Amino acid sequence: GDSVTQMEGPVTLSEEAFLTINCTYTATGYPSLFWYVQYPGEGLQLLLKATKADDKGSNKGFEATYRKETTSFHLEKGSVQVSDSAVYFCALDSNYQLIWGAGTKLIIKP
Amino acid sequence: NAGVTQTPKFQVLKTGQSMTLQCAQDMNHEYMSWYRQDPGMGLRLIHYSVGAGITDQGEVPNGYNVSRSTTEDFPLRLLSAAPSQTSVYFCASKGNSYEQYFGPGTRLTVT
């Protein structure tokens, strides 16, 4: 069945560092891909999405490109802030259901 | 709009007790779902509904019941709580766009 694999955390960076969180997927067809973010004590919020190959989703300085050839959707940000500390989830849309990665905790130190 | 609301925020149950987690949305979304979140396992789908009167099982439905009598409400019932059901539960809804909207979660502990 469809699945999502993301890099294990926690990922610890200093403020203003470059961020990459890897996400790869296995799916039949061409699903939509998402990154959700969960801040401490809160529910999940959609961060960005891409609905077809080569689409780039972007929001709040974060970007991810839908790469069909490598079945990847890596999350990047050029300069992280302390306020970006959260858990990030990669997901794909499979027949009304979201298939989730395990989540990657990101810790940004000032 | 309040979005997706869940009650209670926290709950402690003893093994064998039953309870209902409440979920409501005011966005007129047809699709609603329940997930549980466990450390290192991401979110797992328990049950979902594509409209009033229609429900279906997700990945981990055992021990849970749902009903959808209205578009707004989608309660999750634990029939006989077990320690393995200790988790954080999230309700979500989705309209015509791709985005799912999540409630703030219910943290459940079963002793």
Please measure the distance between the N-terminal and C-terminal CA atoms of chain B and give it in whole angstroms.
36
Q: Is A1 helix (H, G, I), strand (E, B) or coil?
A: coil
Q: Model confidence at A42, in pLDDT bands (50, 70, 90)? A: confident
Q: Which two tokens stand for residue B46?
A: 């328990």
For residue range B1-55, list pLDDT tens digits in order. 779 999 999 999 999 999 999 999 999 999 999 999 997 778 899 999 999 999 9
Who among B44, B45, B104 is closest to A43 (CB)? Answer: B104
Residue B21's pLDDT is: 98
Q: How far is CA B49 from CA A14, A86, B65, B82, in A?
A: 43, 29, 12, 24
Mean pLDDT of chain A: 93
Q: Model confidence at B76, in pLDDT bands (50, 70, 90)? A: very high
The whole-angstrom separation of Cα B4 and Cα B101 is 7
Does any CB of chain A come closer than 8 Å to the CB of residue B21? no
For residue range A4-26, list pLDDT tens digits in order. 999 888 999 999 999 999 999 99
Q: Give A104→chain B minimum CA distance, Å.
A: 9
User: Is A36's pLDDT higher than 90?
Assistant: yes
What backbone torsions phi and psi does residue A12 show, to the nearest 5 degrees? -115, 125
Residue B41's pLDDT is: 74
User: Is A93's pLDDT higher than 90?
Assistant: no
User: Is A105's pLDDT higher than 90?
Assistant: yes
Of B77, B78, B76, B90, nearest to B3 by C-alpha is B90
Residue B95's pLDDT is: 84
Residue A1's pLDDT is: 83
Specify whether the CB–CB gap between B76 and B66 falls below 8 A.
yes
The answer to whether the CB atoms of B98 and A34 lie below 8 A apart is yes
User: Is A62's pLDDT higher than 80?
Assistant: yes
Does any CB of chain A come closer than 8 Å to the CB of residue B58? yes
Does any CB of chain B come closer than 8 Å to the CB of residue A101? yes
Of B2, B99, B84, nearest to A46 by C-alpha is B99
